Structures are given as C-alpha cells and as structure tokens.
Amino acid sequence: MIPRIYIPGDSGALALGAEKVAKAIEKELADRGIEAKIVRNGSRGAYFLEPMVEVATENGRVAYGPVKPSDVKSLFDSGFLTGGHHKRWLGAPDKIPFLARQTRLTFARCGVINPLSLDHYKAHGGLKGLQNAVAMAPADIVKQVTESGLRGRGGAGFPTGIKWKTVLDTIADKKYIVCNADEGDSATFADRMIMEGDPFVLIEGMAIAGVATGATKGFVYIRSEYPHAVAMMQKAVEAARKVGLLGLNVLGSPHAFDMEIRVGAGAYVCGEETSLLNSLEGKRGVVRAKPPLPAIQGLFGKPTVINNVISLASVPVIMDKGAAFYKDFGMGRSRGTIPIQIAGNVRYGGLFEAAFGMTLGEIVDDIGGGTATGRPVKAVQVGGPLGAYFPRSLFDTPFDYEAFAAKDGLIGHAGITVFDDTADMLKQARFAMEFCAIESCGKCTPCRIGSTRGVETIDKIARGSEPEKQIELVTDLCNTMKFGSLCALGGFTPYPVMSAINHFREDFKPAPVAEAAE
Ligand SMILES: Cc1cc2nc3c(=O)[nH]c(=O)nc-3n(C[C@H](O)[C@H](O)[C@H](O)COP(=O)(O)O)c2cc1C
Ligand code: SF4
C-alpha cells in the first residue's frame, strides 16, 4: 500500500506554515526514494495543533502536530509513515480531546476528506440529502427543514424553513439562492473552513434549497479576503457540473440548478443581506429598507433565499438523517449543532461544533483552556464586533439564542473572542463606536452620525471630563441607535458599548486629565 499523508491546505493551517511543511515532506520523500500520496485536506479546526499532519496507517489515521519543517527529518526517522512515536505524535485524530468532545454534523467531513474528491465526499455520506430531496415534493423538503428547527447561522437566527416557504410560495419566473459567505465578524472562520475543507456540502445544501423553492440559480458571495475559499469553491462547482450535481437535471432529476462564485466588495456592511444583494447586482453596498423582504423581492427584484454558509451546509445532514435526528440536539428553540469559533487570547483556539446548550464558561475555560497569556479571563465578546462583552459572572449562560438575548447578548455567527485582565473595556467600547462609524453605509442618521458622536463622548470619558454625565449621554445615544437604526450595524453597536459600561464600570472611571498629568 502506498502511504497516504494528509497535509492541510486550509488557509489557517497555511498561515501557520503548512506549505513549508508540505515542501519539506515532499523533499524528504524524494531524498529517501519513498513513494507516497500527499492529500491536501482541509483543517479539522484544532488550530493550536496546526499544521497537523496525518498519515493513514493499517490501524487508522495517526496525527502529528503542530509540525514544523525542522521536525520532518526526525518524523521520518521515527517511522511516522506507519504511525511511529515522535514528540509531535498526537495519536488518532478523533481521540484528541478537543475533537473527541465535539458533535460533528455539519463539519463531519471537514479536515477528513480530500475537499475536491466527490468520491471521498460520497464515501463519507455526501449527496444522500440531495438524493432524498430530488425524490420529494418541494413543500415536503421545506417542511423537513422547518421541522428540524434549523435557524440561520449568519446572526439573526431566523428559522430557515420559514424563509424557504416564503420563496416557495411566491410565484415568479425566476428565483435565486444567495449564499452569504461574507463572514466579516471578528473571531469567525467557520464559513471559510467549510468552503476550503468540504465545499461540496455547501453546493449540496444550495442545490437542495433550489429544488425546495424552485430557484434555478445560486450565487455564493465570498469575502475578498478569502482567496483560497474562492478558488476551492470555483473548482468544486466545476467538478459538480461535470457529474451532473449541478446543471439542467440535478442528479438526473427534472430540477435545474446551477451556481456562480462572486467575490465580495470588501465592506463589513456587505454582509447585511440587502446590502449584499445590492453589491451582487453591481451597485454600492447600501442597506435596502424592508419591506419588501428579499424572499419576495430580492436579487434583481426576484424572490431570493439568502442564507449563511453554515445554514445551507447544515441542510444536507437534515435531508439525509431526518428532521427528528437534527432536532434531537440542542436546547429550547436552539436546535441542532453550532460551530463555535474560539479565538482571541485563548489557549486552545479553533472550531468546536457542539449541540446548543454548553455554558460559556465550559467553552472558554474547559474547551478553550483559558487565556493564551495565562492571565485571568476578563471578558468574552460573543457574536462578533456587534456582540456583547460577557464578564465571568455570566459564564453560566448556556449557548442558546434566547438565553444570550435574556442577558443582553447575542450569539451571532458564534465567534467568541477572549480577553485577559489587561483589556481596557473603555477602549473596547470606543472601538465598537469607531468600527460602526467606519463601516456605516451612511443610509440612516442614528448610525452614521450617532457612532461618530459616540466616539467623541467616550473620548471625553477617557479624559475624565464629567464621566458620569458622558455615560448618561452614551446610554441615551445607544438607545437612539438601538431603536432608530435601519439595520443591525447601527442597531447592535450598543451591545458591546453598553455591556462594557455595565459590566466593567471600573474601566470608565479614569482620573481627570489634570490629575493624570501629574
Ligand atoms: C452589518 C451586518 C453584517 C452582516 N454580516 C453577515 C455575514 O458576514 N454573513 C452572514 O451570513 N450574515 C451576515 N449578516 C446577517 C445577514 O443580514 C442575514 O441575516 C443572513 O445572511 C441570513 O442568513 P441566515 O438566515 O442563514 O443566517 C450581517 C448583518 C448585518 C446587519
Ligand atoms: S444602521 Fe448603519 S449600516 Fe445600517 S442602514 Fe443605517 S447607516 Fe447603514
């Protein structure tokens, strides 16, 4: 048997040196005259172990990591092609605690298969969902997705099946499926990981959405900062067309569905669905007023399903294993699994897919292992730049849409950024206002003007100029932004600002300037 070596081509792993490791392994194989097959897989998401190299042995896969090019010679000397021991030896990848503790439904194949091999994809359960879907009536597919309890993973948590039903029920000569892969939130990389590690699952999910709603064309809008994901998706779409997974007769059925990859315009607000649609139409990424909903008048004025990558990539497993199977995971109205992305100042950063319901404390302390600096955790921002900062006293909050909302927070796209006790929460509150000012599309006043006034007012607090009065002013401003903004950019900026003020008040009591200057 020719040895098979898996080296991630995922951009996170590449950033950590995977390409150099691949070159060193190729060279070592050539120098030693060993014939082996190198597979460039995606990442399994344990980034603290990347570049993680795996070899297929008679007893299953054995992982090594994090591998440096300087480790390669000694790896060969230790017999790593047959799973030999070495200081980088990790054993069976699915037994590594960070991976073993996960429930991988959406990410089941990510980091395991060759991302561009449809044979690998099928051998690991791929296409079963679409095969089932093409044999069903569209309304039954929509019903199954609705009953699974799947809610949008892009941020708002809107029930996916209900959105699909609106598009199905709207009569039009053309309908679209748009996949939102703009992934602009801080600490998020789930969309990128799946597009680079298992692109066919997204294509399958989009094809199911097309069959379910009568849409015949799909677009994936990928942020420009993701060139590897763009390239991978383009290759995967071409491969899918070749085998009839996309085209006039999806998997030999009477349903037509094809798709295109588009590169984003490079603004955070282009991730907002209506702004994204404008950008996709070649216009400036400005938010559209709703109604009309995109499901009724979306891309080019036609009924459009717009869903996040993870929402769509979670559909194949629902159509394969059933609504009840998926719904069985989770808590309350948050059903299924969620890929939590743990980042910032954290020891074990990476993607952790789990059923809803773990507490924030379990995720940060237990799974994430606390801070990378070893200092105490001060705050955790959940849900990207518009998410609230949670102090340790809220670590018992379960990962659930409603539980987070009840504590004035949000789950968003499930990215969490960990901060240690050196973080200055006044600076973080200022950053939130500044971010909003820079990224505002400018359409409405509370966001466009309010964010700039917010920066100025927080600067006054920093200077110690009547801080209590300024805090009152910021609170008032936040209320105006929260209730008066057209979209969640202006509407949610108050979450990081007010959570910083409410939970970390001590950081908002600087000494007056005159005193500080002494
Ligand atoms: C400022 C802003 C940025 C957003 N960025 C993204 C994004 O990058 N990706 C995403 O899926 N949703 C993003 N959203 C949410 C989308 O507007 C929309 O809710 C989502 O694409 C719907 O898909 P889902 O129902 O599958 O979550 C953003 C929203 C706002 C207000
Ligand atoms: S809240 Fe901000 S980003 Fe959203 S529409 Fe208003 S100005 Fe544009």
Residue 87 tokens read as 């200081």
Q: Which residue minimizes the CA distance to atom 8 of ligand 2?
A: 441
| CA 488/CA 440 separation, integer angstroms | 10
Q: Which of 487, 492, 493, 495 to mutate to test the pocket of ligand 2 (most atoms within 8 A of CB)?
A: 487
Task: Please choose from 167, 288, 308, 413 the residue to mutate so as to test ligand 1's pocket, defined by most ligand atoms within 8 A of CB.
Answer: 308
Look at ligand 2, atom 4, and give the residue with the nearest C-alpha.
487
Kindly report, residue by residue over 3-38, the tens digit of the pLDDT.
Answer: 999 999 999 999 999 999 999 999 999 999 999 999
Q: How many angstroms separate the alpha carbon of residue 50 from the centre of ligand 1?
A: 29
Which residue's alpha carbon is at the smallest distance from atom 1 of ligand 2?
Answer: 490
Position 388 scores a pLDDT of: 98
The answer to whether 179 and 206 are in contact (CB under 8 A) is yes
| Pairing label, strands 53-57, 60-64 | antiparallel
Residue nearest to atom 28 of ligand 1 (CA): 272
Q: How far is CA 65 from the centre of its chain?
A: 24
Residue 199 has pLDDT above 70, yes or no: yes
What is the number of the ligand 2 atom nearest to the C-alpha of 269? 3
- Structure tokens of 326? 């998926």
The DSSP code for 47 is: G
CB 270 within 8 A of CB 209: no
Residue 397: what pLDDT?
98
Cα separation, 282 vs 305, whole angstroms:
19
pTM over 0.95: yes
Quick one: which ligand is closest to 482's CA?
2
Q: Pick the ligand that lies closest to the CA of residue 288.
A: 2
Q: What is the mean pLDDT of residues 44-64?
A: 97
Structure confidence by residue, pLDDT tens digits, 476-490: 999 999 999 999 999
- Spatial separation of the C-alpha atoms in residues 319 and 324, rounded to whole Å: 11
Q: Residues with beta carbon inside 6 Å of ligand 1?
A: 152-156, 158, 180, 182-184, 268-269, 271-273, 306-308, 311, 487-489
> Cα(436) to centroid of ligand 2, in Å?
9
pLDDT for the residue 513: 60
CA nearest ligand 1 atom 18, residue: 273
Tell me, in angstroms, the distance from the centre of ligand 2 to residue 423's CA: 28
Q: Are 266 and 259 in contact (CB under 8 A)?
A: no
Whether 366 shows a pLDDT value over 70: the answer reads yes
pLDDT beyond 80 at 132:
yes
Report CA(419)–ligand 1 centroid distance (Å): 25
* Cα(440) to centroid(ligand 2), Å: 5
* CA nearest neighbour of 500 among 447, 434, 450, 428: 428
How far is ligand 2, taken at its centre, from the CA of residue 289, in Å? 10
Give the ligand with the smallest distance to the CA of 383: 1
| Region 352-379 average pLDDT | 98
* Whole-number pLDDT of residue 441: 96
- Tell me the per-residue pLDDT of 318-327, one tens digit each, with 9 for 90 and over: 999 999 999 9
Nearest CA to ligand 1 atom 2: 272
What pLDDT score was predicted for residue 158? 97
Question: By C-alpha distance, which of 507, 493, 499 is closest to 422?
Answer: 507
Provide, rounded to the nearest whole percent, the portion of the chain with pLDDT above 70. Answer: 98
Ligand sitting nearest the alpha carbon of 414? 1
Pocket residues: Cβ below 6 A from ligand 2: 269, 287, 440-444, 447-448, 485-487, 489-490
Is the pLDDT at 514 greater than 80? The verdict is no
pLDDT above 60: residue 287: yes
Instruction: Identify the pLDDT of residue 237.
Output: 98
Name the burial class of residue 460, with classes exposed (0-12), middle (13-18) and buried (19+) by CB atoms within 10 angstroms of its CB. Answer: middle
d(CA 392, CA 378): 7
Give the pLDDT score at 517: 46
What is the pLDDT, as a whole number, of residue 347? 98
Structure tokens at 213: 């709603």
Whether 515 shows a pLDDT value over 80: the answer reads no
pLDDT at 510: 75
- pLDDT > 60? residue 266: yes
Instruction: Give the ligand whose atoms come closest to the C-alpha of residue 449.
Output: 2
Residue nearest to atom 31 of ligand 1 (CA): 488
DSSP-derived secondary structure letter, 366: I
Q: What is the pLDDT of residues 138-185, one digit of tens each?
A: 999 999 999 999 999 999 999 999 999 999 999 999 999 999 999 999
**pLDDT greater than 80 at residue 43:** yes
Distance 433 CA to ligand 2 centre (A): 13
Average pLDDT (122-135) is 98
Question: What residue has token string 């037509």?
Answer: 256
Distance between Cα 286 and ligand 2 center (Å): 8
Mean pLDDT of the chain: 97
Share of the chain above pLDDT 90, in %: 98
Angstrom CA distances, 301 to 293, 385, 486, stand at: 10, 31, 20
- Counting ligands in written order, the one closest to the CA of 315 is 1
Ligand 1 center to 276 CA (angstroms)? 9
Return the SS3 of 518.
Answer: coil
For residue 451, which atom of ligand 2 is closest to its CA?
A: 2
pLDDT at 411 over 50: yes
Atom of ligand 1 nearest to the CA of 156: 19
